[in-house]
Amino acid sequence: MDKLTEYLNAHTHDELHPSEIANLLKDLDDKSFSDAVQSIPKELIADVALELPDRYFEDVLESFTPEEIAESLSELESDDQTDFIQELEERDEEMAKEVFEELDSEDQADILQLKQYEEDEAGAYMQIEVYTAGLEQNVHDVIKDFAELRRKDELENINYLFVTDQEKKLRYGVGLDNLLVFDFHKTLKENIEQVPEKFKPIFSIDHDDIDNVVQKFQEYDLNSMPVVDKEGILLGRITSDDIYDIINEQATDQMYNLAGVNDDAEEDEDIFKAGKARAIWLGINLFTAIAASLVIGLFEETLQSIVALAILMPIVASMGGNAGTQSLTVVVRQLALGDIAKHDAFRTIKKEVILSLANGFLFAVIMGMIASIWFDKGMLGIVIALSMVINLLSAGFFGSMVPLLLKKMNIDPAIGSTVILTTITDVVGFFSFLGLATLILL
C-alpha cells in the first residue's frame, strides 16, 4: 500500500502507467488490495483491471459503480473497450449491461461492431480509431489535422497514415517519417505517384485467421496493420501491442498443453475445475503407463534371472524420454512460429534423427562402459548400449513425427504429443533393452 501511495504521489497524472500500478497491486494482500484500489484515479480503473491477471478483475471492479467504470472505460481505445466488456460479461452479465448502457452511442457502436467477430478472426483484435486521409488532400492540411488530433489526445501510437479513395477503400500506407519529407504544397496522390510501390500497404481482411496476421507482423516487422473488409474498405487497424499479447498467450498455451494442463482452468480460482482438467491427462497417462508395464511383463523370466536389468532399465527409458522431449519441444515451437513448411517435414525429421542418433552413440558408449564395470559383465554393457541407440533413434524420429502428423490432421501439436511420445519411448526402451538381454544374455 505504501509503495502504491508513494508511486501515485511521485508522478503527475500523465506520468502514471496502468501496468506499473498493476504490478504494485499484485504485491498486496487481500485487505490492502481493496483499500489500495480506492486510491487509483478513477479514469485508470478499466485500464488497470485489464493489466492485472484475470483473477483480480472482479476485485478491482467491485469497489466502483457502473457509472464510474463506464467513465473509465470511455478513456480506452475500442479494442480494449471490447475486451473489457467481454471479460465483464463472463463474470457478471447484469453489470456488463449496466456499464455498456452508460457509454455514449459511438463507443457502444464500436463495441458491437468488434463483438461480431470470432475469437480467431483479425477483426476481433482491431481498433476502430485510425489516422486516415484522402488521396486528394494537401499534405500541409493532413499534417495540420494530425497535429490537432494529437493535441486533443484523440490519437495514440500512430506510425502510419492510411490513405483512402472517395469510397473509403484503402489505397496506400504512408509512414509519418515519409509524410514529413513530402512536398507540402502537393496532394498525397501527387507525392505518392512518384514511387507508388513504396507505399503499397500490407493489410489483412477482417475475417482472416489471426495466426496469419501474426506471421505478417513478424515477417514485415510491423507496428500496425490496416484491416479492410472484402470490398477493400478500411475498417480499422491492429497494433503491435495486441500481437505481442497473442504471441505470449500462444506460448503459454503451448507450455500448458505440453504438460497436459488447461490454460483457462489454471487461471481460474476454482480448484476443482483445475484439478479436473489435470486429472483427464493424468488418467490418459495412467493407461499408457500400464501399456509400458505390460511390455515389461513379457520379460518377467528374464528380469528374475538377471536382477541388474531392473536396475538399469529406467535409465534407458529416461534417456529416450528426455531426447524425445527435446525434439518434440523444438518441432512444436517451430510449427507455431511458422518456421516449418510442408516441404520441410522430411528435413526436420532427418535433422532430429541425426541429432538423437549422435547422442545415442555417445551415451551408449558411456553407459555401456559404466554397466560393464558396475556389474562386471561386458555383454550387459553391450545390451544397454544397443538399446540406448535404438531408443534415442526412435525418440528423435517420433519426437518430430508426432507433432508433424498432428499438425497435418489440424490438431494442435502441443496437445497430447507428450503423452503419445512418452508411451512410445517407454515401450521401445523397455522392449529393446529386455528383448536384447533375452537374446544375448540368456
Number of domains in the chain: 3
pLDDT in tens, 173-232: 999 999 999 999 999 999 999 999 999 999 999 999 999 999 899 889 999 999 999 999
Same domain, 289 and 220: no
Contact 307, 441 (CB under 8 A): no
Lowest mean pLDDT among 93-102, 128-137, 270-279: 270-279
What CATH number is given to the structural domain containing 377? Answer: 1.10.357.20
What CATH number is given to the structural domain containing 195? Answer: 3.10.580.10
Same domain, 70 and 157: no
> Would residue 251 count as lying in a domain?
no
Q: What pTM did the predictor assign? A: 0.75
Same domain, 221 and 291: no
Same domain, 108 and 185: no
Q: Which of 190, 215, 246 delimits the end of a domain? A: 246
> Would residue 253 count as lying in a domain?
no
- Sorting pLDDT into bands at 50, 70 and 90, what band is 138? very high
Judged against a pLDDT cut of 90, whether residue 338 lies above it is answered with no
Same domain, 230 and 291: no
Instruction: Look at residue 262 in the predicted model and tell me its pLDDT.
Output: 63
Percent of the chain with pLDDT over 70: 96
Judged against a pLDDT cut of 90, whether residue 258 lies above it is answered with no
Same domain, 280 and 428: yes
> Would residue 42 count as lying in a domain?
yes
Instruction: Look at residue 254 in the predicted model and tell me its pLDDT.
Output: 76
Q: Which of 199, 216, 246 delimits the end of a domain? A: 246
Given strand 224-228, what is the order of strands in its sheet?
204-205, 224-228, 234-239
> Would residue 162 count as lying in a domain?
yes
Same domain, 236 and 317: no
Structural domain for 173, as ranges? 132-246
Same domain, 227 and 374: no
Same domain, 294 and 341: yes
Same domain, 193 and 264: no
Lowest mean pLDDT among 17-31, 72-86, 212-226, 363-377: 17-31
- Sorting pLDDT into bands at 50, 70 and 90, what band is 267? low
How high does pLDDT run on average in the chain? 89
Return phi, psi of residue 229, to 5°: -90, -175
Decide which of 345 and 265 is more confident: 345
> Would residue 208 count as lying in a domain?
yes
- Sorting pLDDT into bands at 50, 70 and 90, what band is 412? confident
Cell of 23: 504490478
Judged against a pLDDT cut of 70, whether residue 350 lies above it is answered with yes
Same domain, 313 and 352: yes
Same domain, 213 and 339: no
Cell of 86: 467481454
> Would residue 73 count as lying in a domain?
yes
> Would residue 177 count as lying in a domain?
yes
Instruction: Look at residue 265 in the predicted model and tell me its pLDDT.
Output: 57
Judged against a pLDDT cut of 80, whether residue 13 lies above it is answered with no
Judged against a pLDDT cut of 70, whether residue 261 lies above it is answered with no
> Would residue 121 count as lying in a domain?
no
What CATH number is given to the structural domain containing 14? Answer: 1.25.60.10
Instruction: Look at residue 410 in the predicted model and tell me its pLDDT.
Output: 83
Q: Which of 69, 89, 116 delimits the end of a domain? A: 116
